[in-house]
A and B are shown apart, each in its own frame.
Chain A
């Protein structure tokens, strides 16, 4: 049989690529069959070639590895030939996955190769080891001593590879870090620059993964690299490493400032310059309290701004400038604000990477002055696509009338350059989310005009074409609830939205437009007093296509209809006339017919609401039908399709129409009180927690002792009845039926009072009797403890009124205006002073007398704690004491083994003041330990 080499295989594949797909597949499967037999054969060279071919094919095609591929790789790895072994080690990372047991088989081979005196051999396993170590923690444990041994190998090439292997090894075997750390430290002073570079890389990764605290003691070595080395790559790494270390040790800043400033001014490598600038920013070196910090910040921002301004220059530099500016914003917002124009331009960049960075930067730049400009520009990025899809000519037309945001800038040049990017749904989603978040950030702290917010939200729902419905719904109802002054405007806009049949249709596919609709329906219902035309609002809410919508929207719509009708009916009574009478009758009829389809709807809630409303309307309709309007008496009452209700109202209105009864039917006031009993306000964050348990209320006590079935039912019923009487104000008059009802109610009330009047003894007696009965009842769960417990009387539980009046409003106006005016001073472009924000409810409702606890940082701390595990949990600070202990960190070394053993499990041991003593001890013991260790290794 003739065996193909890898080259032959590749040639074959290329030859067949030109022909049909089927032929290529046939060739491929043939080749795989061949390779399988090669793998199974005895010839090691063929096997190795087969392994290599499989690796190649697996890179190109989605084929699974042949069975026992890993095993063959192990065989090749153990071949004594260098070139075959290399193939084996090359294939190992591809062949082994987490669950292959073959890794265990390789341990001895790898150990042998690592320790081989033949210098070219150890690099082979070292190349593959990082992958294998991360797969198998046991391998790490076994090979750890060997790796440490290799750290002092005579060949620098092996030393640096060994250093790099330590990272995955410690990752899987965190305990090794304690033993290996001093050895790693020695490598920082290695004679070979490559080894030092590799060590710096490892320290950087370690510091990034477990926090820099353990690596602060390395600062002197790192500092000497920073001042002594000329290798840019290494300098970059060291500078980046210091960015992690300086926040932990502020005194480092003073030491680092001179070398870093000199690097910034002298280096020719932009990459290094940039990293220095970034470290200055991230490492907290720009402390505004210090004079040089401010100057340095100025230098940094100018460098970055220079990159940003460099039009037509390097795009990469613009990208990283934006990246670094995000970091500097929190401390020096004013300096970045000088480059606002450039940053805004970057939002229009054809490069999506730059846009995303600019977007991030812009979101963190937002303040009260620029919110509207920024938001409008973001919105204009979403808008152009609207011309492409153009499904909504009517909506667009009406919207441009509503909102003047889509001004001329929207359709200018960005439309040409950015349409392709704007259409990427993920980018649109990101943009929309950012836009929503800058508006709502910190409970609308930057918003000055809430009507504008409403219009932006509506626009967003129309043009974003991404699914942010829930978010928009939340914001719309939140804004309307909090800001009383914006309600009228909101209702006006949203009234148009609910009438937009095209928009409804878009929402039906579940793309998020429903969110705005739901909010609109709710707002129009809740604040129906602002509706320009309740009649048309009702007809558009109960649109003929409503039954196609989602069930949430339907049930909201039904409820809103009831609210609007309730309000309409109450208002219309003030100017009652025969025209109004006709109008009301027609309205009731049309609502009823609109409800028709939902009476048979499968959804429970919809059906219930539809029936409820229909019954209430029946009531009203009957009343209306029998009512004779004041002007034209006999004409209008002709049709009567509700014979059963006729008895209820006919007589009272028809015959008793004297001067004492008002000129309008009383049933007009049936619905409104159902919805207006309590104004809905925003509830404060933590309000629920803040409700204090009133004194004397013990929540652990059974409210109704003894399970309380019989008695409870009766009392509940009474309470419900009396409540009903209160809520539905039946008023006087009405038919005989009403009289009857009132009589019954009164009697029941009396009965209840009688019950109240019962003496305690009587009640106790009754209870005892009931309990005795229950005892014999096999179906009743009888609690034996009941007898022993002192029974609590319901009536003895004090009823405490929970007061829910609003907290006094925060005086935000004064604060905010002073802030914004100070900001304006700094700007040359003087804008018109923004109006103080409209009064709105920022905090929301809270029970009276509660003080909001400060937002606790505890939670995040805890999260961090729990997140640290594995390598991150290893804390070296317990053994090599900290800088804070004495100020001269050069003297410290890793503690002795016993101490380490004891403290391995301790996480986050605080640095103690007694560390000085520890160190002395450490130094004495260390030599003995080293000897021990060396022995063990040999």
Chain B
């Protein structure tokens, strides 16, 4: 499975960090900076796989929560399995931390899919897009990978899902804000939303104390 998806720029500033194995935030950050320093040391033209003897990626992996304590030795063995696959695009590094169940070259293709999906949803994506739409990047990622497993690899399907989700978001946001005329709000999907526009307006009025 995929343990983590990271994006950081050439200065090591994280632009996206998504860990699919539960790790404490501080460990996540130290891992990011460790991986960054290892990757940024690598010269151009070397391979996209990072083997670092001094990097230990803690993978609770196949040990269920209850047996974490005694699974220590097993964890040791699994380490060898974990590898880091990355790609460098302009000012950004896209890093996937995966285990042996994933194909190395397949993940490289998947990174490409991820970047192209971002490109479609942002139209010529650049670092600034990722900075200011940090939530949107998460949404795109959630259409490709869920819980460390690949959900979809077809770019058309991914961007269709992303667009559908953002339409829903806009509709929902519009319906909760009566000041925006309902004509601007996208029509679809309102029926199912239990908080319809009229209902939303009432609540909003109640909230501001009218």
A contact set with B: CB distance below 8 Å: 6-7, 10, 14, 42-43, 45, 52, 55-56, 58-60, 62, 64-65, 80-84, 86-87, 90, 93-94, 97-98, 116-121, 123, 126-127, 129-131, 134-135, 137, 157, 160-161, 164-165, 167-168, 171-172, 174, 194, 197-198, 201-202, 204-205, 208-209, 231-233, 236-237, 240, 270-271, 274-275, 314-316, 318-320, 323, 350-354, 356-357, 424-427, 429-430, 867, 869-872
Does chain A have a CB within 8 A of B100? yes
Cα separation A351 to B43 with both chains bound (whole Å): 8
Report the bound CA distance from A779 to B66 in whole Å: 52
Closest residue on chain A to residue B147 by CB atoms: A130
Interface status of B202 (Cβ within 8 A of chain A): no
Cα A352 to Cα B47 with chains together (Å): 9
Contact of B20 among A52, A130, A137 (CB under 8 A): A130
B49: Cβ under 8 A from any A Cβ: yes
Q: Give the shortest distance, in Å, between B97 (CB) and chain A (any CB).
A: 14
> Which 10 pairs of residues, A with B, have the shortest CB-CB distance?
A130-B147, A118-B192, A271-B105, A426-B54, A315-B47, A82-B172, A351-B46, A870-B64, A353-B51, A426-B53
Set of chain A residues within 8 Å of B21, measured between Cβ atoms: 134
**Pairs A–B under 8 Å by Cβ, sample size 25:** A64-B25, A82-B168, A83-B176, A90-B142, A118-B189, A118-B191, A130-B20, A131-B147, A134-B65, A164-B149, A164-B151, A165-B146, A198-B151, A208-B62, A232-B109, A233-B150, A237-B103, A270-B105, A271-B104, A275-B103, A323-B104, A350-B43, A350-B46, A353-B46, A869-B64
Report B42-59 CB contacts with A as 1/0, cut-off 8 Å. 110111111111100000
Determine how close the nearest CB of chain B comes to the CB of A364; give it in whole angstroms: 14
A839 to B42, CA, bound (A): 48
| Interchain CB contact under 8 A, B101 and A204 | yes
Alpha-carbon distance A807/B142, docked complex (angstroms): 67
- Are A354 and B46 within 8 A (Cβ)? yes
Q: Which residue of A lies closest to B161 (CB)?
A: A157
B135 sits at the interface (CB 8 A):
yes
Q: Are B135 and A58 in contact (CB under 8 A)?
A: no
A316→B105 contact, CB < 8 A? yes
Taken together as a complex, chains A and B put the C-alpha atoms of A262 and B172 apart, in Å, by: 51
One of B51, B53, B67, B173 near A870 (C-beta < 8 A): B67
CA distance A424 to B38 in the complex (A): 11
Residue B31 CB within 8 A of the other chain: no
| CB of A602, distance to nearest CB on chain B (Å) | 37
Complex Cα spacing A209 to B62, Å: 6
B207 to chain A, nearest CB (A): 7
Q: In chain B, residues 11-69, which have Cβ atoms closer than 8 Å to a Cβ of chain A?
A: 13-14, 16-17, 20-22, 24-26, 29, 42-43, 45-54, 62-67
| Residue among A87, A429, A870 with max Cβ neighbours from chain B (10 Å) | A870
Q: What CA separation (Å) do A180 and B110 show in the bound complex?
A: 29
Task: Kindly state the separation between the CA atoms of A427 and B110 in the bound complex, as whole angstroms.
Answer: 30
B189–A198 CB distance below 8 A: no
Contact A353 B74, beta carbon cutoff 8 Å: no
B14: which of A60, A80, A129, A137 is its contact (CB, 8 Å)? Answer: A60
Least CB distance, B25 to chain A, in whole angstroms: 6
Assuming the contacts A118-B192, A130-B148, asked whether A351 and B42 have C-beta atoms less than 8 A apart, the reply is yes
Q: Does B89 contact A (CB under 8 A)?
A: no
Whether the Cβ atoms of B47 and A354 lie closer than 8 Å is yes
With A134-B22, A157-B161 known, 10 other A-B pairs at CB within 8 A are: A64-B25, A81-B176, A81-B200, A83-B173, A164-B146, A233-B153, A275-B106, A315-B48, A320-B104, A427-B53
B173: nearest chain-A partner, CB-CB: A83
Cβ of B65 and Cβ of A137 under 8 Å apart? yes
Enumerate chain B residues within 8 angstroms of A425, measured Cβ to Cβ. Answer: 54
- From B53, B146, B161, give the contact of A430 (CB < 8 A): B53
Query: Does B119 belong to the interface (CB within 8 Å)?
Result: no
Which of these, B24, B47, B152, B172, contacts A160 with CB under 8 Å? B152
Bound state CA distance, A750 and B194, in angstroms?
110
B198 lies within 8 A of chain A by Cβ: no
A81–B207 Cα distance when bound, in Å, is 15
A90, A120, A168, A869: residue with the most chain B Cβ atoms closer than 10 Å:
A120
Q: Tell whether A315 pairs with B46 under 8 Å between CB atoms, given A97-B24, A201-B149, A352-B52.
A: yes
Closest to A315 in B: B47
Asked if residues B52 and A426 are in contact (CB atoms below 8 Å), the reply is yes
Assembly CA distance A120 to B170 (angstroms): 13
| Chain A residues, Cβ within 8 Å of B1 | 205
Residues of A within 8 A of B63 (CB): 870
B67, B138, B146, B189: the one contacting A130 at CB < 8 Å is B146
B195 at interface (Cβ–Cβ under 8 A)? yes
Cβ distance A362 to chain B, nearest Cβ, rounded Å: 15
Partner of B22, one of A6, A131, A205: A131
Q: Which residues of A contact B195 (CB under 8 A)?
A: 80-81
| Docked complex Cα distance between A135 and B22 (Å) | 8
Q: Is the CB of A80 within 8 A of B207?
A: no
A6 touches B134 (CB 8 A): yes
- On whether the beta carbons of A236 and B106 are closer than 8 Å, the reply is yes
Residues on B with C-beta less than 8 A from A202 are 149
Report the nearest B residue to A56, measured CB to CB: B134
Q: Once bound together, how far apart are the Cα atoms of A205 and B152, in whole Å?
A: 16
Complex formed: what's the CA distance from A547 to B71 in Å? 45
Closest chain-B Cβ to A133's Cβ sits at a distance in Å of 8
B150 touching A197, Cβ below 8 Å: yes
Bound: A424/B172 CA distance, A: 54
- The one of B51, B54, B192 in contact with A116, judged by C-beta atoms closer than 8 angstroms, is B192
Q: Which residues of A contact B132 (CB under 8 A)?
A: 7, 10
Whether A117 and B101, one on each chain, are in contact in the complex, defined by CB atoms closer than 8 angstroms, is: no
Chain B residues near A316 (CB-CB < 8 A):
47-49, 104-105, 108
Complex: A351 Cα to B49 Cα, angstroms: 10
Q: Are A171 and B101 in touch, CB under 8 angstroms? A: no
| CB neighbours of A270 from chain B (8 A) | 105
In this assembly, does B131 line the interface, its C-beta being within 8 Å of a C-beta of chain A? yes
Residues of B within 8 A of A120 (CB): 164-165, 168, 189, 192
In the assembled complex, which residues on chain A have CB atoms less than 8 Å from the CB atom of B164?
120
Q: Are A351 and B64 interface neighbours, CB within 8 A? A: no
Chain B residues whose CB sits within 8 angstroms of the CB of A240 once the complex forms = 101, 103
For residue A137, which residues in chain B have a CB less than 8 angstroms away from its CB?
Answer: 64-66
Q: Which residues of B contact A134 (CB under 8 A)?
A: 21-22, 65
Q: Which residues from chain B contact A121 at a C-beta distance below 8 Å?
A: 192
* Inter-chain contacts of B171 with A (CB < 8 A): 82
Provide the bound-state CA to CA distance between A233 and B151, in Å. Answer: 11
Tell me which of B43, B50, B157, B193 contacts A82 (CB under 8 A): B193
Determine the distance from Cα of A6 to Cα of B50 in the docked complex, in whole angstroms: 34
- List A contacts of B139 (CB < 8 A): 86, 90
Q: Is B154 an interface residue (CB 8 A)?
A: yes
Q: A541 to B39: give the CA distance in the assembly, Å.
A: 47
In the bound assembly, the distance between CA atoms of A161 and B51 in angstroms comes to 32
A460 to B43, CA, bound (A): 29
Tell me whether A97 and B22 are in contact in the complex, defined as CB-CB below 8 angstroms, given that A201-B150, A271-B103, A319-B49 are known contacts. Answer: yes
Could you say which residues of chain A place their CB within 8 Å of the CB of B165?
Answer: 86, 120, 123
**Distance in angstroms between the alpha carbons of A350 and B42 in the assembled complex:** 9
Asked, given contacts A194-B152, A231-B153, A320-B104, whether A83 binds B172 with beta carbons under 8 Å apart, the answer is: yes
| Chain B residues in 8 Å Cβ range of A429 | 53
Task: Name the B residues within 8 Å of A131 (CB-CB).
Answer: 20, 22, 147
Kindly list chain B residues whose C-beta atoms are within 8 Å of the C-beta of A171. Answer: 62, 64
* B47 and A59 within 8 A (CB): no
Q: How far is the CB of B45 from chain A (nearest CB, A)?
A: 7
Chain A residues lying within 8 Å of B157, measured Cβ to Cβ, are 194
The interface centre, meaning the residue of A58, A59, A97, A356 with most chain B CB atoms within 10 A of its CB, is: A59
Known: A120-B164, A198-B150. A86 touches B22 (CB 8 A): no
Within the assembled complex, what's the spacing in Å between the Cα atoms of A895 and B176? 51
Q: Which residue of A is nearest B64, CB measured?
A: A870
Q: Are A165 and B147 in contact (CB under 8 A)?
A: yes
B64 with A172: CB separation less than 8 A: yes
The complex places the Cα of A86 from the Cα of B189 at a distance, in Å, of 15
> Which residue of the partner chain A has the closest CB to B167?
A120
Interfacial chain B residues near A94, Cβ < 8 Å? 25
